[in-house]
Amino acid sequence: MNKKLRPLPIGIDSFSDLRNGGYYYADKSLFIQELIDAGQSKVTLIPRPRRFGKTLNMTMLKCFFENEREESLSQKALFEGLAISQYDYCMKHQKQYPVIFLTFKEIKSSNWISCYDKLQQSIAAEFERHNYILQSDVLTLQQKKDFSCIVGRTASQAVFENSLKDLSLYLQKYYNSKVVILIDEYDSPIHAGFLSNYYDEIISFMRGLLCGGLKGNTNLSFGVLTGILRVARESIFSGMNNLDVHTLLSPAYADKFGLIESEIVALLQERKITYDLDKVRSWYNGYAVGGIPIGEGSTSPYTAKIYNPWSILKFAQSNGSFGEYWANTSDNKLIEELVQRSAEEVKIDFERILTGKSVKKTISEDIIFSSLEKNADALWSFLVFCGYLTWKSREPMQIKCEAELIAPNHEVIDCFNTLINRWFTDSKGDSDYKNLLISLKSGNISLFKERFIQSILEHFSCFDTGGKTPERVYHAYVLGMLVALSKTHVIKSNGEAGHGRYDVCIIPHDKNQVGTIIEFKAFNLEDDKTMKLAASAALAQIEEKQYEVELRKHGVTKIVKYGIVFKGKKVLISHAST
């Protein structure tokens, strides 16, 4: 008789619900041991990409450490049979602390008023969970009043900002024991504030809340925070010298968030799913955590190659069907805007990443949101820590390092392709861009000219906020072609051929189809006649440098060459064909 399969914990982020419900669980309980062994850390921040098991691990900590009152359900049974139960010195900590638990993962409001309202709700709910304190005589009348005002959400913002510190005091007085503070997804409202223009308000509030509860709090035993990013100290953790941060660059907790390969194999074997492990790796593995990745199967404690757990669970749920699961759990709006509005150098680098190559960049743990649109290094760091990029190799150092960045897997490449494709296919631009690509593939010169000029008029402002750097348009279009033509053509950018370096070479898989060489030029003078000469010169450069050699060596004989000159939204195109 076949053993009944445990249900998959899709969308289950409560440890007690998962264990009581008999769901499949990849045992991460040794996270508790690692945390206890790092006992010198007063406050620990562990940033990880979304959907990597942060909330599940934080609720596990709550179930383990929180002292139980008589009327509450026993949490002890939740850990029976798990790895942590083998360590007596760890089990001595079980149920020994009053716990404050807050999660901000759903606070993604479009304005500060709504955000603050939800923050109040979250804090008030945690006070309400501990309202038994009001029945005791350990609080003063003023403390009881403040407590009730928090629960009733009539307290001032200053009182809410001090609420973590105050509740720590109340619990310490009640239990005569220092508290554990757990804050899940602390930076979720900060991301929303940056996107929706209330960044200063949310930073001010979070600085007051976190510093009050975690900095110099004599009633704190220890605290743990999770999020996606380490927001720069000067913004939110100002003066918090007791903060121990373990980002993806750190070896600590490397295998405690996300899934390692042995866990993947165990899951798929239990569910009797037929799979190609190499293909599963290419789709969902590849996230480097800790030191320099040194290959699959490494037992080094300083490196880990992590699978995206959400995608793996969805893959198992669909009985082994590959798909873009993780990217579809977010609208990716911030990523899309940052890449779309980036400088031409960033788009050149994305061309390399989309074709499976690497780019060497400086990544830093400290993220300053205001720098994301101005500082390319901040953008690359943001993409790494959000899970859109990882490193193929990096210097063995923390906080800041030089790294060779790549897309972690095929799923993320598909995500980038979707974002880029959307730049060109929104609203009425969809049919125009498709017609542009059709004319390019077929070698219809007159239609290509017409559609290209029309497309520039519609899309120019999207890719060049200053209106004076048409190279951004050029590289945006190269990215678009990489995505839209990837199934039928090879797109090469800035490649060497003949006696120089071409801008774009479009090579059809079918050698009987038309191949294309494009040379782009920016032009700053007013005279249209001179622009025509510049366009002719761009075309002449293709001929003189013999760029068509790149196509001919691939067996392509039908070749169209375009010299394209920009001045603002004005475009002139010269052409030749063989």
In terms of DSSP bridges, do strands 43-47 and 220-227 run parallel, antiparallel, or are they unpaired? parallel
Residue type for 389, please? L
Residues 290 and 361 in one domain: no
Residues 189 and 238 in one domain: yes
Q: Are 95 and 65 in contact (CB under 8 A)?
A: yes
User: Residue 563 domain-assigned?
Assistant: yes
User: Residue 256 domain-assigned?
Assistant: no
Q: For the whole model, what pTM was predicted?
A: 0.86
**Of 192, 212, 245, at which residue does a domain stop?**
245
Residues 241 and 106 in one domain: yes
- Output the pLDDT for position 216: 87
Nearest 10 degrees: Cα torsion 12, 15, 20, 26: 80
- Output the pLDDT for position 308: 93
Q: Give the integer Cα–Cα distance in Å for 188 and 122.
A: 13
CATH number of the domain where residue 194 is located:
3.40.50
User: Residue 6 domain-assigned?
Assistant: no
Residues 197 and 293 in one domain: no
Residues 145 and 224 in one domain: yes
Q: Which residues pair with 491 in a beta bridge?
A: 506
Give the DSSP per-residue string, 461-514.
HHH-TTSS-THHHHHHHHHHHHHHTTTTEEEEES-EETTEE-SEEEEESSTTSP
Straight-line distance from the first to the last Cα atom of the chain, in angstroms, rounded to the nearest whole number: 70
**Of 211, 245, 279, at which residue does a domain stop?**
245
Residues 379 and 337 in one domain: yes
- Output the pLDDT for position 572: 87
Range of the domain at 346: 328-413
Q: Are 302 and 291 in contact (CB under 8 A)?
A: yes
- Counted domains in the chain: 4
Q: In 180-257, which ranges are continuous DSSP H helix? A: 188-195, 199-214
Q: Look-up: residue for tokens 């790494």?
A: 384
Residues 176 and 105 in one domain: yes
Neighbours of 561 (CB within 10 A): 24
User: Residue 20 domain-assigned?
Assistant: no
Burial of 447 (0-12, 13-18, 19+ CB in 10 A): middle
**Of 220, 245, 270, at which residue does a domain stop?**
245
Residues 334 and 215 in one domain: no
The closest of 106, 97, 32, 27 to 66, measured between CA atoms, is: 97
- Output the pLDDT for position 74: 66
- Output the pLDDT for position 299: 45
Number of helices (H), then strands (E), belonging to the chain: the values are: 22, 19
Q: What is the pLDDT along the chain (578 residues), one digit of tens a residue?
A: 346 789 999 999 999 999 999 999 999 999 999 999 998 789 999 999 999 999 999 999 999 999 976 444 567 789 999 999 999 999 999 999 999 999 999 999 999 999 999 999 999 999 999 999 999 999 999 999 999 999 999 999 999 999 999 999 999 999 999 999 999 999 999 989 988 999 999 999 999 999 999 998 999 999 999 999 888 755 687 767 778 999 999 889 999 999 999 999 999 999 999 999 999 999 999 999 986 444 444 444 445 789 999 999 999 999 999 998 987 777 677 777 777 777 777 877 888 898 888 999 999 888 877 777 777 788 899 999 999 999 998 887 767 888 999 999 999 998 888 888 777 766 455 677 788 888 989 999 999 888 888 877 776 655 553 445 566 667 677 778 778 888 899 988 877 887 888 888 999 999 999 999 998 887 766 555 688 888 888 899 999 999 999 999 999 999 999 998 877 777 889 999 88
Report pLDDT digits (tens) over 436-479: 888 989 999 999 888 888 877 776 655 553 445 566 667 677 77
Residues 169 and 307 in one domain: no
CA 70, 71, 77: angle at the middle one, nearest 5?
Answer: 75
User: Residue 404 domain-assigned?
Assistant: yes
Burial of 34 (0-12, 13-18, 19+ CB in 10 A): middle
Residues 240 and 104 in one domain: yes
User: Residue 539 domain-assigned?
Assistant: yes
- Output the pLDDT for position 298: 44
User: Residue 8 domain-assigned?
Assistant: no
Residue type for 101, please? F
Residues 281 and 300 in one domain: yes
Residues 449 and 515 in one domain: yes
Q: Which residues pair with 504 in a beta bridge?
A: 493, 518
The distance from CA 179 to its chain's CA centroid, rounded to whole angstroms, is 32
Burial 489-514 (b: 16+ CB within 10 A, else e): bebbbeeebeeeebbbbbbbeeeebb
Nearest 10 degrees: Cα torsion 528, 529, 531, 536: 150
Q: Which residues pair with 571 in a beta bridge?
A: 566
Dmax over CA atoms of the chain, in Å, equals 93
Q: Are 100 and 168 in contact (CB under 8 A)?
A: yes
User: Residue 1 domain-assigned?
Assistant: no
